[in-house]
């Protein structure tokens, strides 16, 4: 029996990951959509995310997202890994991002870990790609319209989504930013104008920001619904509900609801989960993004459309695998990371 080569383990820093992500937005969008199509075809294993919570810090959590994408049988290669991501909202008060993360990829043949990489950037990039993919599917026929976009929440995820907006192929007329911290809103507006080229400004009123937008992007840290008036959405916008917990069941029930995976989205006290608890059913869920990407028809535009992606681990490992392929040849493995390799 031929001996397998000694496993190698590489570490990639946030700076390296950021450079790859910054130059590879289209490739990341392609990787995310391919992962969704694999999920629709049943070629993924994506267990429920596991939440570690703390009795003395109920808003803090660390989440484990294990996942596997099976080889497509056409040389596509399988990929396996896990993201370990923490969310500590009080970091924002210290001027730090709320989330931090690492991603581990495992070798498909031996199961040995083969890479560890900074993953808050990967997480933000795959979330942005998921949002843009949904926007492209749900805004079919709107490419000639001049759209107004509102960001509710001006953190890292909002920045990544804004920088990927051109990939949607839509005509963005103006961008409005609302955040409880006006300085964060102003900073994002300046960044959008400088780096993306859209006309961007802040709006102090949450209601005005929503009512004046054709596309509303929620990227807040809200732990529970804080918007409960369906009339704010009576103009039938597209809502990218990335933060999952902003909207009360009364709004969910008045909308077409699109998910990435129904079982994942209807848990952990998301707005959709609370709606299921209130109604005792899931009939308010209209369709899924993987279904749309595989030829499904989008909902009509006679009601608000709310896209609520729980964020599947398969997206993280798909993007992480792409980053690995970009960087591995230029990054030496950690010497003797696996030390005692004698079986007996």
Tell whether 301 and 326 lie within a shared domain.
no
Residue 303 lies in domain: 138-311
pLDDT at 75 over 70: no
Which residues are CB-neighbours of 184 under 8 A, at least 6 positions away? 154, 155
First to last CA, the chain: 16
Cα–Cα distance for residue pair 344/328, rounded to 1 Å: 31
Tell whether 81 and 166 lie within a shared domain.
no
pLDDT band at 72 (very low <50, low <70, confident <90, very high): confident
Range of lowest pLDDT (49-63, 121-135, 220-234, 323-337): 49-63
Give the domain CATH number at 230.
Answer: 3.40.50.720
Quick one: pLDDT at residue 263? 95
Whole-prediction pTM: 0.94
Mean pLDDT of the chain: 94
Tell whether 82 and 102 lie within a shared domain.
yes
Paired tokens of 307: 């896209």
Q: Is residue 279 part of a domain?
A: yes
Q: CA distances (Å), 111 to each of 15, 45, 78, 87, in order?
A: 27, 15, 12, 28
Q: Is residue 131 part of a domain?
A: no
Quick one: pLDDT at residue 144? 60
Phi/psi at 334 (5° precision): -70, 120
Tell whether 15 and 96 lie within a shared domain.
yes
Model confidence over 253-262: pLDDT tens digits?
999 999 999 9
Domain total for the chain? 2
pLDDT at 93 over 60: yes
Cα–Cα distance for residue pair 240/108, rounded to 1 Å: 34
Tell whether 152 and 32 lie within a shared domain.
no
Quick one: pLDDT at residue 5? 74
Phi/psi at 188 (5° precision): -65, -40
Average pLDDT of the residues in 161-187: 96
Give the domain CATH number at 92.
Answer: 3.30.1780.10
Q: Is residue 153 part of a domain?
A: yes
Model confidence over 276-295: pLDDT tens digits?
999 999 999 999 999 999 99
Tell whether 55 and 189 lie within a shared domain.
no
Q: Is residue 174 part of a domain?
A: yes
Quick one: pLDDT at residue 57? 75
């Amino acid at each position: 029996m031929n001996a397998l080569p000694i496993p190698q383990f590489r570490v990639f820093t946030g700076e390296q990951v950021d450079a790859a992500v910054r130059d590879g937005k289209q490739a990341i969008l392609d990787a995310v959509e391919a992962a969704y199509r694999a999920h629709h075809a049943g070629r993924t294993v994506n267990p429920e995310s596991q939440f570690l919570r703390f009795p003395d810090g109920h808003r803090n959590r660390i989440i484990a997202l294990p996942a596997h994408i099976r080889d497509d049988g056409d040389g596509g290669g399988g990929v396996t890994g896990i993201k370990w991501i923490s969310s500590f909202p009080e970091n924002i008060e210290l001027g730090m991002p709320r989330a931090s993360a690492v991603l581990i990829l495992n070798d498909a043949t031996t199961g040995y870990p083969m890479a560890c990489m900074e993953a808050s950037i990967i997480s933000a990039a795959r979330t942005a790609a998921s949002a843009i993919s949904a926007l492209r599917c749900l805004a079919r026929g709107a490419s000639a319209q001049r759209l107004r976009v509102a960001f509710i929440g001006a953190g890292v995820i909002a920045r990544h989504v804004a920088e990927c907006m051109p990939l949607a192929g839509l005509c963005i007329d103006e961008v409005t930013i609302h955040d409880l911290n006006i300085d964060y809103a102003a900073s994002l507006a300046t960044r959008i104008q400088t780096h993306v080229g859209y006309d961007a400004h802040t709006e102090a009123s949450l209601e005005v920001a929503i009512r004046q937008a054709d596309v509303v992007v929620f990227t807040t840290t809200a732990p529970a619904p804080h918007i409960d008036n369906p009339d704010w959405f009576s103009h039938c916008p597209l809502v990218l509900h990335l933060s999952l917990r902003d909207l009360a069941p009364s709004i969910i029930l008045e909308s077409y609801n699109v998910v990435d995976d129904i079982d994942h989205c209807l848990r952990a006290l998301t707005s959709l989960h609370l709606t299921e608890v209130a109604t005792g059913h899931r009939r308010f869920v209209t369709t899924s993004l993987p279904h749309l990407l595989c030829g499904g028809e989008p909902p009509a535009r006679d009601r608000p459309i709310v896209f609520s992606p729980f964020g599947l681990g398969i997206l993280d490992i798909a993007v992480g695998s792409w980053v690995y392929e970009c960087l591995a040849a230029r990054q030496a493995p950690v010497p003797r990371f696996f030390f005692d390799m004698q079986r007996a």
